[in-house]
Amino acid sequence: DPSLREVADPTGRFIGTAVNDSLLNDSTYRNIAATEFDSVTAENAMKWESVEPQRGQYDWAGGDRLVDFAQQNGQLVYGHTLVWHSQMPDWLENGSFSDTELREIMTDHVTTQVGRYRGEVQRWDVVNEAFNEDGSFRQSKFYQQLGASYIADSFRAARAADPDAKLFINDYNTETQNAKSDGLYRLVQDLLAQGVPIDGVGFQNHLIVGNVNGSAIRQNLQRFADLGLEVAVTELDIRMRMPADSSKLQQQARDYRAVADACLAVDACSGITVWGISDRDSWVPDVFEGEGAACPWDDNYRPKPAYDALRDAF
Ligand code: XIL
């Protein structure tokens, strides 16, 4: 049987996975990541807390391993993520800085990280999860001190550091049209009107089995695409209440298919990244109590119906 990347390639879309740095030594994991996907996103290794645990002390080891892995396997790298309220290093999270100093810390971080991987990372989530559910701006440290201009400044710093990388804003619960995605839409319109260098919008797609409306997802991707931007499915997983059973797994397969079909129906949808390979390694059970089995491979790295559905979509 062909791999996901083999069927995705002729459609011009990428098929990616989040890669967990600590699992790259496992040969089964490594082999699936290498052969099934043509794009990789660091699950954690490129987050601020990972790359600059102490102020001014950088640790690029995990990010570099991912980039090396991608280069060995002829894969794209999706950079995740530069400016985000979560997984910030303690010195930043708990430190107090003047507004001027914070703006400089933020833009220096973007400049340093994008510069480090210039020419090696094709897409960056420059800003992640900037919105509340009602479409207002999340009260992150950056928003509270700097206001909404922190977003434009981050994108400008990223563009200057690598003019060839595509720059994304990424969020969750924005997959269909709702108050949150409307807020995101207004921001993106605004950034474009101001000439801020933004190229794409990422939709995480952390979804729930039985709650996936493919045509609503397609229409929402299309309205962002109609602004002239690239769109992408950046963190797809579809969780269920545990334990799994065959009817839930079949529904999950239909839901994966619906998301893939939505992307494939939109010319500007450049690809799909799944947030993990195996249910065993997924972040879902740690965060959503009683839920799991959200990935295309099961606990034993055997492909699930969701895997077949994804492959059939291309
Ligand atoms: C998650 C990782 O999967 C976990 O390993 C980590 O403990 C927390 O972050 N939205 C994002 C991702 O943008 O970075 C998150 O990844 C999942 C939600």
CATH 3.20.20.80 for the 38-204 domain, yes or no:
yes
Other Cβ atoms closer than 10 A to 178:
16
Question: What integer pLDDT is reported at residue 143 of this predicted model?
Answer: 98
Give the pLDDT score at 134: 98
Token pair 């396997």 in the structure block, residue:
73
43 CB near ligand 1 (under 6 Å): yes
| Most distant CA atoms of the chain, gap in Å | 57
Measured from the CA of 172, which atom of ligand 1 is nearest?
10
Those residues of the chain that have pLDDT short of 70 are: none
210: left (phi over 0), alpha (psi -120 to 50) or beta: left
Query: Which pLDDT score, from 0 to 100, does residue 270 have?
Result: 98
- Predicted pLDDT at 113: 98
Q: How far apart are CA 30 and CA 94, in angstroms?
A: 36
Instruction: Provide the token pair at 119.
Output: 């020419």
Closest residue by CA, ligand 1 atom 7:
283
What pLDDT is attached to residue 223? Answer: 98
For ligand 1, atom 12, which residue shows the shortest CA distance? Answer: 43
In tens, the pLDDT along 1-54 reads 999 999 999 999 999 999 999 999 999 999 999 999 999 999 999 999 999 999
Distance in Å, CA 195 to ligand 1 centroid: 30
Is the sign of the CA dihedral 136, 185, 82, 100 positive or negative?
negative
Instruction: Encode burial over 89-105: b for 16+ CB neighbours within 10 A, e otherwise.
Output: bebbeeeeeeeeebbeb
Residue spans per domain, the chain:
1-16+224-314, 38-204
- Cα of 10 vs centre of ligand 1, distance in Å, is 30
Beta-bridged to residue 292, according to DSSP, are 240
Q: Answer yes or no: is the C-beta of 273 below 6 A from any ligand 1 atom.
A: no
Angle, alpha carbons 168-199-79 (nearest 5°): 35
| Rounded Cα gap, residues 124 and 241, in angstroms | 32
Ligand 1: does its nearest atom lie under 6 Å from the Cβ of 255? no
ipTM: 0.99
Tell me the pLDDT tens digit for each residue of 100-132.
999 999 999 999 999 999 999 999 999 999 999
